[in-house]
Amino acid sequence: MRTLIEGGWVVAFNGTSHEVYEQGSVVFEDDRIVHAGGPYAGAADVRLSARGKLVSPGFINTHVHTAGNGADYLLLDMAKNDYRTANYMSAAAPLRGKVTPPPPPAAAALRAFVFLHALKQGATTIIDVGGLRGDWEGYVRLVDELGVRVYGSLAFRDRNTFTDAQGRLYYDEDAAVGVQGLKEAVAFVRSYDGAAGGRLRGILNAAQVETCSAPLLRACKDAARELDVPVHTHAGGNLVEFQRIMDEYRKTPIQFLADVGFLDDRTLIGHGVFTTAHPWTRYPFGDDLRVLAERGATVGHCPYKYAKMAITLRSFQRYLDAGVNVALGTDTYPMDMVSELRWASILAKVTDANYQVGQPRDVFNAATLAACKFLRRDDLGRLSPGAKADILLINLDHLGVPVYADPIKALVDAGCGRDVDTVIVDGKILVQGGRAVRLDEAEVYAKARQATQNYWSHVPDWRWDGAGVERIIPPAFPTHQAPGAGEEPLSR
């Protein structure tokens, strides 16, 4: 079946770069684009009006945690007190043996919420770096049902973080746990890479640079080469991590990863903020940006996540100028890839005190072409003949957006995820009129809220000091709950 999208601003790819057509058209047949650009005179079975809308390639969100974000980041990532913004003193390091995995219904509810939340706000491809806890088949079924494109597998580590009864952080190293975790991730990739009509692809997720030993990182990279899949790890994420790697190896996290052979053009570095380029590290030896550029690694930049913690990449433009491939992700809520364009642009300007940097073309490319370069997918992140029909229709003609001459600048300056009207993945309409087509949004939200409230109720059980969420992050104003408020937890 041939579908014609017509009448909007079309962001077409000319083989080298994006270009914009006013009152352009896009035609796709089944899962592939057959025309993108100017007027189309051929026949079509279905016509979709894009009048007043930007017709854009789908965005690639390079940093999503389906295993945890549904329950914790919404509350625990905003305005919390911590040491060096590292999460350890607020939430990330529990008492040993006190945290239990969420019951399967709760895990499934949160996973559906995260995927749908990201999809509705412009992500047609999601890189799930957060874990995949249990129920592999349920995960695959959800990806298939939702229709989204996903790169995912289990996260693994051989050093877990805990706090003792006095709240002191320590690392518990167990090589066997890391080896087993990698084996399970490899098994997942072998079993499900190419599932869900080819939309589910494998990636190996070495959890964090400071929670993975050098042997485990080498084994991960060896397995990835054998499987022909990309790899991801969190690195340069906080100063506690930077100091630990420095103390253990006398190298920066980036230099350490390079020396163990982990960095190449199939490596995604989550965050990559604290490098030799960042003044807070005060480390005068070497050049991490040169290392990243020479190895061809990609940095998954999550600007809003770090802005909330009063931190910025130093800087988006400096990384680009050094030749580093920079893509965009969200990591936290909202998983709004449209707003991330603006955050990336504005923070680049503020960081460099230069309003000529963070150009709309550069942040748009980061959300599309840069991520596809890492994935080695020349059929994603662009609208051109032969590319996958992963398409967004974004409403720009409303009072929330100023009258504009350039729709890309208007999108970056004033757009947000709620402006996404239509999401198409693999030629299938998944969101139309701003509403999900395949799942009941109210039901997804209700189940996620129920699971989240259950999660929050257990936080004092694994905190060393017994603090609940209201102490970790006090509410903005005194809040009085209604009598009998609260939901029963999802059954196990």
CA distance 272 to 289: 10
pLDDT digits (tens, 9 = 90+) for 109-125: 999 999 999 999 999 99
Selected residue with higher pLDDT from 476 and 404: 404
By mean pLDDT, which of 210-214, 424-428, 469-473 is the weakest? 469-473
Q: Is pLDDT of 392 > 60? A: yes
Contacts of residue 331, defined as CB under 8 A and 6 or more positions apart, other chains included, come to 63, 64, 65, 69, 73, 270, 271, 302, 305
By mean pLDDT, which of 161-165, 303-307, 395-399, 426-430 is the weakest? 161-165
Q: Is pLDDT of 384 > 60? A: yes
- Spatial contact of 13 and 387, defined as CB atoms under 8 Å apart: yes
CA distance 182 to 206: 8
pTM of the complete model: 0.95
Output the pLDDT for position 97: 83
CATH 2.30.40.10 domain position(s) in the chain = 1-57+382-439
pLDDT digits (tens, 9 = 90+) for 441-461: 999 999 999 988 888 888 889
Output the pLDDT for position 70: 56
pLDDT digits (tens, 9 = 90+) for 211-262: 999 999 999 999 999 999 999 999 999 999 999 999 999 999 999 999 999 9
User: Considering the domain 1-57+382-439, what is its CATH architecture?
Assistant: Roll (2.30)
**491 band by pLDDT with thresholds 50, 70 and 90:** very low
Output the pLDDT for position 268: 99
Arithmetic mean of pLDDT over the chain? 92
- Spatial contact of 173 and 158, defined as CB atoms under 8 Å apart: yes
CATH number of 59-380: 3.20.20.140
CATH 3.20.20.140 domain position(s) in the chain = 59-380
Q: Is pLDDT of 300 > 50? A: yes
CA distance 226 to 275: 30
